[in-house]
Homo-oligomer: A and B are copies of this chain.
Amino acid sequence: MAEEETLPPLDPAGLGAYFALIEVSSLLRHTVEQQLLDAGDLSYVQFQLLATLGDAPDGSRRMTELADGVVYSRSGLTYQVGLLEKAGLVTRGPSADDDRGVTVSITEAGRDVLAKVFPGHIDVLRQLFLAPLARKDIESLARILTDVRDHMRTVPPRSAKPRRKSG
């Protein structure tokens, strides 16, 4: 896609990695989304949220932690957590140390759903994503992408987005 001849001599490998990354993640996400919908009536975001909560030591997280964890807008998170709450998969409660905060906790039902969809999820991953790769490639991929993620997490908190004001 768009490797115009008239452009500066940019890393062809870099571009290739980028385009392939976007395409792979899009395709993967679509397929996974379908599986989650079939298996447990979950959207991808909802799965990510439940998974993040399930992974937390006490099954709870603050709203902001969740939003950052899944790279999502605050308002969108409010909406999705609302849906999950209505479905009985999470509960909302006040935060211990900060009265502004909302703590979201996964319920038993939530864990059940998670357990129900996980095997199929893994299957999709294996068949669609990991199948063509050698063990070594998978390890390389994990290491490289983890490096990138760490880099991204540190460098720019999130672009030039000072909260209203001061402009």
Contacts and interface: CB of A to CB of B under 8 A. Distances in A.
B4 A118 contact: yes
A25 B22 contact: yes
Interface residues of A, number: 75
Interface string A13-45: 111111011111111111100110010000000
Given A1-B48, A31-B159, A145 B55 contact: no
Contacts of A148: 20, 24, 129, 132-133
Contacts of A2: 50-52, 54-55, 114, 118
Given A10-B122, A21-B145, A25-B25, 10 more contacts: A2-B50, A4-B118, A7-B118, A17-B142, A20-B142, A21-B25, A30-B71, A30-B158, A128-B155, A129-B148
